[in-house]
Amino acid sequence: MGGHLNRSGTTQAATAGVPPPLHTVKPMGITIFNRVFATIYALAILALLYYHAKTLFYSTTLVSCSITLALLVSDLVLTFMWINTQTFRMRPVCRKQFPENVEKVMKRSDFPALDVFICTADPYKEPPIGVVNTALSVMAYDYPTEKISVYVSDDGGSALTLFAFLEAAKFATHWLPFCKKNNILERSPEAYFELNHHRYTSEAEKIKVMYENIKVKIEHALERGKVDDQYITRDREREAFNKWTDNFTRQDHPAVIQVLLDASKDKDVAGYWMPNLIYVSRGKSKALPHHFKAGALNALLRVSSCMTNAPIILTLDCDFCSNDPQTLLRAMCYLCDPAIRSTLGYVQFPQLYRGINKNDIYCGEFKRLFVINPMGMDGIEGPNYVGTGCFFLRRAFFGSPSSLISPEIPELSPDHVVDKPIQSQSILALAHQGVNSNYENHTNWGSKIGFRYGSLVEDYHTGYRLHCEGWKGIFCHPDRPAFFGDVPINLIDALNQQKRWSIGLLEVGFSKHSPATFGVRSKGILMGLGYAQLAFWAIWSIPITTYAFLPQLALLNKVYIFPKISEPWFFLYAFLFLGAYGQDCLDFVLVGGSVQRWWNDQRFWHIKGVTCCLFGSLEFFLKFLGISAFGFNVTSKVLDDEQSKRYEQGMFEFGVHSPMFVTLTMAAITNLISLVQGLIEVYRGDNLEELFVQLFISGFAVVNSFPIYEAIALRNDKGKMPTKTTIMATLLAGALYITASSFSGRN
Ligand SMILES: O=c1ccn([C@@H]2O[C@H](COP(=O)(O)OP(=O)(O)O[C@H]3O[C@H](CO)[C@@H](O)[C@H](O)[C@H]3O)[C@@H](O)[C@H]2O)c(=O)[nH]1
Ligand SMILES: [Mn+2]
C-alpha cells in the first residue's frame, strides 16, 4: 500500500510562490499574569514554610510538634505540586489549522495512508455496537478511502465482536457513500440518527432501517451469548468462527485475524473503493503477560506493519467516535509540514465527552487534564499522549528521530514497503506469527519499541518516553470537537477509573525513568516537572486527607492550630487560599468552563483526595513492597436507565459499598460534627479569633459534602449511601476521635 510521506510531494503551484499556511500558533494572553503571580505566590509559600519552621522550633509539646509536622509535610506536598503545575502556566499556546490548504501543498494522490487502531476488551462492558460506531465514523473520514485501514483489537476474544464487525462491514458499503454524498458531519450512525431525527429524507430513512436491523441482530446475539448459525453464510466466516472451540477462553486462545473489508477488492454501493477493515484478537496464554492495552496496541502495530504499514497511525478507544470528518486533514497540517516533520512524533486531540450532565458532578470533563494542561505543555514541547484521538508517526515507535531501532523481522520496520495484497498467504502467515502470545519474548517490544509496558497508564508512559527520546507533540484543539467519548456516570466507576490512573502514574513516577529525575535530566526542568505533576498526582491525597481530618479533630479537642485572625500570619493563609482558588477558577473559566462546573471540579478534587488517590497510593505501595498485584479494570460503557436518570438530575450515585465511600463518609461526618462543635463554642464564648480557620475549613468541607449527607439521610432510591457504609464510617470516625482525644490528652 503506497502513500508513504513523500518529501517532494508539493505541487507546482505551491513551490512557485509562498505555500499557503497550514497552521499558526499564538501564546495566550494570560501568560504574563501567570508569571507575575507565580513570583508573588512563591514568596508567600516561602513565608508559610518559614512560619511552620518557626512554630516547630518553638513547640513544646508532643501534640503541637506532631501537628505542625503533619501540616508542614502536607504543605510541602502542596508546594511540590504547585511548582510542577507552573509548567502548564508558563507558556500556554493556542493553535489554528487550515485543513483546506492541505490539498494546495500536496496532491491528493500523495496523501499518506492511515492505519487506525481501535481497542476493545469486553463485549459486556463495551457493547460491540458502540465499537462498530467508532469504526464506521473513521472509515468515513474525508480522505481517499482506500488509504484508510481500520484494525480492531478485541482483547475480549469474543465471537460476538467479530460478528458485529461482519455486519458492520456490510452496512459500511451503504453508510460511507451516504455520508459523503450528503456531507454529513456526524459519521457515527448512532450520533447522526440521534441528532438529526427531525429531517430525514427517504434515503436516510432507508439507511436508518438498515442500521436498526444490524443493531438488533448484534444486541440479540449479545443477549443469547452466541452467534446463530443462520447468520454465518460464507465459508470464510465459518472458518473464522470455528476458531472458537471449547478450549477457547478469553485468557487463553490462539490468534484470530479476519480481513472483513479489503481496499483492493471491495467497493461500496456507489462503486467506490472501501477502506480495509481487519479484526484482530491477539493470541493469549495464561502463562505469559499480555500487558493489557499496550500489548494490544503493539500487536496491532505488528499486524498493520505486515499488511499496510501506513506511516500515520491513529489510536482510538472503542467509545471514541469521530465528530468531524476533517480531523485527519487537520492532523495532516502538522504531520505533513516539512518544517516540523522531522521530530514530530504525534498530534493529540483532546478527550471530550458527550452526555455529561449540566453541572458535571463527577468532573467528567477533565478540563484540567485534557485541555488546560496540554495547552500548557504544547507551548514547551508538546502535550502528553492520552491514549485516544492521537495521530502518530509510525516511525516514532522505532527509536529516536535520529536513530532507527530495527525490529526483529524486516517486514515490521516502518520503512518496509508492502508489495503484496493483504490477504495473500505469506502476509497472513506473518501477521499471525506477529500476534502469537509468545511473540514478544526476548524482544525490544514494550521497552524500546512500540507502546511502553510497566504502567497501567500506557498512554502517559509511552508519550513521556517518546518525548524523552527527542520526539515532539502537538495539541490540536479545534472549535468543532474532533472526537466524543463516553464518561462514567456513576461515582464508583469514576473513582475506580481514577484509582487505576493514580496507580499507573505512580508506577512511572517511581520507576527508573521517573520524570522528577530522569525526565528533568533528559527533557529540561519544565517538561520534566510537567510530567512529574501528572505522575505524582495521587500524593495530593496526603494534604487533602490531612486537611480533611486534622483541623477538625483538633477543633473537637479544643486544640487550635492556625494563626488567630488578628495575627498577620492569618492574612498569609487567606492569601494562599484565595490566590490558589482564584487562579484555579480563572484557568477553568478561560477555557470555556462555567463557574458552577468549576465549583464541582474543586469538590471532586477533594473527593478524589480521600478516595481514589488515597487508595491508589496504598495499593501502589503494597504492590511496591510485593504484597499485592493489580490489573486493568475496564470502565463500563453500558448505561443503566435509572442511573442515567439520576445522573441527569445531578444526583450522586453511591448504591454500592466500597472502602472508598467509607473514607469519604468519615470525612463528611467528622467535618459536620466539628463544625457544629465549633459553632457551639463561638456561641458560648468569644473564641472565634482562635478557631476561625478551623471552623472555616470544616464549613467549607460541609458545604462540599451536601450530596453525601443527602445520600446518607434524605434519599431512598437505589443510588443512596448503603447503610453498611454509613455505619462503618460512623464507627471508624468515632474510633478516630477517641484516638485523637487520648493523644491530645497525653499532652
Ligand atoms: O486489557 C485491556 C484493557 C483495556 N483495553 C482497552 O483500553 C481502552 C481504555 O480502557 P477504559 O476502560 O475505557 O479506560 P479509561 O480509563 O476510560 O481510558 C483512559 O485511560 C487509559 C489508561 O488507563 C487509556 O488507555 C485510555 O486511552 C484513556 O482514555 C478501551 O478501549 C479498552 O477496550 C484493552 O484493549 N485491553
Ligand atoms: Mn474509557
- Which string of b and e fits 461-476 if b means at least 16 CB within 10 Å? bbbbbbbbbbbbbbbb
Residues 237 and 350 in one domain: yes
Question: Is the residue at 498 inside a domain?
Answer: no
Question: Is the residue at 501 inside a domain?
Answer: no
* Residue 745 parent element (H or E): helix 723-745
Please report how the helices 659-684 and 541-556 are oriented relative to each other, as an axis angle in degrees rounded to 10. Answer: 40
pLDDT (mean) for 537-553? 97
Q: What are the residues whose beta carbons fall under 8 Å from the beta carbon of 650, sequence distance 6 or more?
A: 357, 358, 359, 361
Cα Rg, the chain, nearest whole Å: 28
The whole-number pLDDT of residue 5 equals 41
Please report how the helices 292-307 and 458-469 are oriented relative to each other, as an axis angle in degrees rounded to 10. Answer: 60
The DSSP line for 209-269 is: HHHHHHHHHHHHHHHHTS--GGG--SHHHHHHHTT--TT--SSSB--EEEEEE-TTT-B-T
Query: What's the gap in Å between 120 CA and the centre of ligand 1?
Result: 8
Is residue 237 predicted with pLDDT exceeding 90?
no
Question: Is the residue at 322 inside a domain?
Answer: yes
Give the ligand at the shortest distance from the Cα of 134. 1
Ligand 1 pocket (Cβ < 6 Å) reads 119-121, 126, 153, 155, 292-293, 296, 317-318, 387-388, 456-459, 497, 500-501, 504, 632, 634-635
Distance CA 211, CA 207 (A): 6
User: 318-342, pLDDT tens digit by residue?
Assistant: 999 999 999 999 999 999 999 999 9
**To the nearest whole percent, how much of the chain has pLDDT over 90?**
90
Calculate the CA 39 to chain-centre distance. Answer: 32
Q: Which of 453, 472, 488 is the last residue of a domain?
A: 488
Among 34, 31, 39, 66, smallest CA distance to 52 is for: 66
Query: What's the gap in Å between 454 CA and the centre of ligand 1?
Result: 15
Question: Is the residue at 1 inside a domain?
Answer: no
Which ligand 1 atom is at minimum distance from the Cα of 387? 27
Residues 55 and 130 in one domain: no
Residues 447 and 543 in one domain: no
Residues 72 and 176 in one domain: no
Is residue 9 predicted with pLDDT exceeding 50?
no
The DSSP line for 599-627 is: HHHHHHHHHHHHTHHHHHHHHHHHHHTTS
Among 437, 467, 439, 474, smallest CA distance to 452 is for: 467
Q: Is the Cβ–Cβ distance between 511 and 383 less than 8 Å? A: no
Distances (CA, A) of 194 to 135, 421, 486, 639, 662: 18, 38, 15, 16, 39
Question: Is the residue at 232 inside a domain?
Answer: yes
31 by Cβ neighbours in 10 Å (0-12 / 13-18 / 19+) ranks as middle
pLDDT (mean) for 266-282? 97
Residues 560 and 609 in one domain: yes
Selected residue with higher pLDDT from 212 and 231: 212
Distance CA 215, CA 514 (A): 46
Residues 220 and 117 in one domain: yes
Neighbour count for residue 739 (Cβ, 10 Å): 11
Domain that holds residue 267: 111-488
Distance CA 164, CA 260 (A): 11
Q: What are phi and psi of 37, to 5 degrees?
A: -65, -35
Edge-to-edge strands, sheet with 344-348: 256-261, 276-281, 148-154, 114-120, 312-317, 390-393, 344-348, 472-475
Residues 463 and 519 in one domain: no
Q: Which of 471, 488, 505 is the last residue of a domain?
A: 488
Q: Which residues are 665's β-sheet partners?
A: none
Q: Which residues are 281's β-sheet partners?
A: 256
Least confident interval from 138-152, 660-674, 681-695 = 681-695
Q: Which of 444, 470, 488 is the last residue of a domain?
A: 488
Query: What's the gap in Å between 637 CA and the centre of ligand 2?
Result: 8
- ipTM of this model? 0.99
pTM over 0.80: yes
Which ligand 1 atom is at minimum distance from the Cα of 153? 35
Q: What are the residues whose beta carbons fall under 8 Å from the beta carbon of 57, sequence distance 6 or more?
A: none
Residues 385 and 458 in one domain: yes
Question: Is the residue at 660 inside a domain?
Answer: yes
Query: What's the gap in Å between 646 CA and the centre of ligand 1?
Result: 26
Least confident interval from 170-184, 195-209, 264-278, 675-689 = 195-209
User: 431-454, pLDDT tens digit by residue?
Assistant: 999 999 999 999 999 999 999 999
Selected residue with higher pLDDT from 108 and 237: 108
Is residue 692 predicted with pLDDT exceeding 70?
yes
User: 400-428, pLDDT tens digit by residue?
Assistant: 999 999 999 999 999 999 999 999 999 99
Q: Please list the active-site residues.
A: 155, 459
Distance CA 74, CA 535 (A): 18
The protein residue with its alpha carbon nearest to ligand 1, atom 29, reads 387
Residues 404 and 533 in one domain: no
The protein residue with its alpha carbon nearest to ligand 1, atom 33, reads 120
What's the mean pLDDT when you consider all of the chain?
Answer: 94
The protein residue with its alpha carbon nearest to ligand 1, atom 36, reads 293
330 by Cβ neighbours in 10 Å (0-12 / 13-18 / 19+) ranks as buried
Residue among 293, 502, 508 to mutate when testing ligand 1 (max atoms within 8 A of CB):
293
User: 203-217, pLDDT tens digit by residue?
Assistant: 999 999 999 999 999
Which ligand 1 atom is at minimum distance from the Cα of 488? 17
Distance CA 548, CA 605 (A): 12
pLDDT (mean) for 59-80? 95
Question: Is the residue at 702 inside a domain?
Answer: yes
Question: Is the residue at 505 inside a domain?
Answer: no
The whole-number pLDDT of residue 622 equals 92
Distance CA 193, CA 187 (A): 10
Is residue 10 predicted with pLDDT exceeding 50?
no
Among 294, 337, 292, smallest CA distance to 315 is for: 294
Distance CA 582, CA 598 (A): 11
Residues 86 and 119 in one domain: no
Residues 76 and 117 in one domain: no
125 annotated among ligand-binding-site residues: yes
Q: Is the Cβ–Cβ distance between 500 and 537 less than 8 Å? A: no
Query: What's the gap in Å between 478 CA and the centre of ligand 1?
Result: 24
Domain count, the chain: 2
Among 580, 615, 571, 612, smallest CA distance to 598 is for: 580
Is residue 14 predicted with pLDDT exceeding 80?
no
The whole-number pLDDT of residue 581 equals 96
User: 159-179, pLDDT tens digit by residue?
Assistant: 999 999 999 999 999 999 999
* Domain CATH code at residue 190: 3.90.550.10
The whole-number pLDDT of residue 685 equals 85
* Residue 94 parent element (H or E): strand 93-97
Residues 78 and 121 in one domain: no
Which ligand 1 atom is at minimum distance from the Cα of 635? 12
